[in-house]
Homo-oligomer: A and B are copies of this chain.
Amino acid sequence: MTADHLESRRQEIVRAALRCFAREGFHATSVRDVVRESGLSAGAVYSYFPSKAELVAGAVEPILEALIGVLDAVVTDTDESLEEDRTPAETVAEVLRRIYPIAVGGELDYTRIAVTAWAEGLRDPAVRAIAEQTYGTVRGRLTHRVARWRDAGHLAADVDAEALGQVLFSTLVGFVLQHALLGDVDLDRYATALCLLLPRS
């Protein structure tokens, strides 16, 4: 098989896994379920993903990469354009607005995948390691944004940028939870409300 063919086969398995995870959660999904869902042979699936942890990693990787890509684009925008300087909360609201159509606009609702991945991360160190790495990156970007905002004089010089980065991170994951579990949160209203936090001083 060509490299393109290999990659497209890999994608096919990832999509089958995502359908299973969205439906049943990570814990209740076995590699055998993914084999059945994909319509491929067990050997084919195992050759790409020798363990369930690798399947989980392969499944969440694209959305986590998209999230970090969106975040970087928004933070870079913010840092570079002095004209239209977003507050840290406006930065998070803009990330939410851009990631939302990617997360829930397709065949799958990634907010459901995320919630089930969190629970799996409590039990499976490999899944937890993915969460630590990715969420660590996201929080690092938010902390950086807060530090610049503080250093520009909008917050007191002794403000704890890391802790405030954790609070802002909560507004992202809290949206994910409310969307997946309660289903009554509206993106535009939430993002608009978010922008009221940490106003320009």
Q: Which residues of A does B touch, CB under 8 Å?
A: 24-25, 27-28, 89, 112, 115-116, 118-123, 128, 131-132, 135-136, 155, 159-160, 162-164, 166-167, 169-175, 177-178, 180-182, 185-186, 189-190, 192-194, 196-199
Contact = CB atoms under 8 A, between A and B. Distances in A.
Given A118-B119, A122-B115, A160 B189 contact: yes
Contact of A174 (B24, B155, B173): B173
B181 A166 contact: no
A164 B181 contact: no
Q: Rank and list the top 6 A-B pairs by shortest CB-CB distance, nearest first.
A: A170-B174, A119-B119, A163-B193, A163-B189, A164-B193, A197-B197
Contacts of A197: 89, 167, 197-198
A199 B28 CA distance: 45
Nearest to A180: B122
Contacts of A167: 171, 174, 190, 193-194, 197
Contacts of A118: 115, 118-119, 177, 180-181
B185 A166 contact: yes
Given A118-B181, A119-B120, A169-B178, 10 more contacts: A24-B123, A25-B119, A25-B122, A27-B28, A112-B122, A128-B181, A155-B196, A170-B175, A173-B173, A174-B174
Nearest to A116: B119
